[in-house]
Amino acid sequence: MATNQLSPKVFACSQSVELAEEIANAYGTELGKLTTTHFSDGEFQPAFEESVRGRRVFLIGSTFPSTDNLMEMLLMCDAAKRASARHITAVMPYFGWARQDRKDKPRVAIGAKLVAKLLEAAGATRIMTMDLHADQIQGFFEKPVDHLFASTIFLPYVESLELDNLTIASPDMGGSKRAYAYSKYLESDVVICYKQRQKANVIAHMELIGEVEGKSVILVDDMIDTGGTLTKAADLMMERGAKSVRAICTHPILSGNAYERIQNSQLTELIVSDTIPLKKSVSKIKVVSCATLFADVMHKVQDNTSISDQFLM
C-alpha cells in the first residue's frame, strides 16, 4: 500500500483518555497502544507500542494544568517524530496557557507563544484546537492551525430549548465578538457586561450595557475558571429583571470553589463541552460532547478536504 494511503493512528494523552476514546469511536477506529513509564521522582516517559512509521498520528490531549499535561503532549510529539511519523497532529481541545497571549504589564512572559514554539520544536506539524482564548494565538504558529468553534455543538442545543425573548450576553468586553456571532445566528439581542478587575479572578465592579428585563439570557464565554464573573453577571441580570440566565462556556476549568458557586448561583444552567473532564457531577452543569466535531475534522484533514462546512457561523 502506498505511504499516503496508510490509515492514521490515534493516541490519547492520559488526561484526555475518555474524550479520546469517544473521538476515536466517532472516527471509526480504536486508540493506539501507548505505555507510560513513571519514575519515583515524578518524571515520566510515554512510548508507542505500535509502529507509526509513515503515518499521520493524531495525539489527543488538552493541556490544562498541571504542566505535566503539556509535557506529556510534547513528549508524545517528540516520540512520534523520532518514530518517523509522516504527519503529527496535536489535537488539543483545550489549549492551555492561552490567557498569556500578550504582555499586559512589564516583565511578564507570553506563555501562549512559548507553548506554540515548544509544540513545533517537539515535532507537531499541525495543531487542532477549539475556542482559543484569543484568535491571534493562531499567528503564533508557523504550522497550520485548525481552530474549531464550539458554537457548532452548542447552537443546536440552544435551539432545542425554544426560549422566549432570547438575548445573548457577553460577560466582558473581550467576548463581545463571540456574543455577536451567536446573536446573529439566533437573530437575538445582545447585552454586554463591563467589568473591572481588582486582580486575577477577582472582580471589583461590574455594569450591564443593555436591557434584560423579561429576557431569557444566555451568557457566552470561552472558558469558566472560578465562576466569579458568570455568577456575578447572572446576579446582576436577575436584579435587572431577567426571566432566566444560562451560560455557555466551552472549557470547564472550574477551579477553587467553582462547583459550589455555580450550584448556589442564580444560573439556571451552565452548558459546557467535554474538553476538560469534570471533577464532580453537579445538577446545574450540562455537558455537550465535542467528540463528533473533532472526529469529523480529523477525517477531513486526513482526506485533505475543506473543513469550512463545520462552521455554523
Catalogue the active-site residues.
195
**Which residues lie closer than 8 Å to 270 by C-beta, 6 or more apart?**
224, 230, 246, 247, 249, 252, 262, 284, 285, 286
Is residue 201 within 8 A of residue 229, CB to CB? The reply is no
| Sign of the dihedral defined by the CA atoms of residues 246, 247, 252, 253, in that order | negative
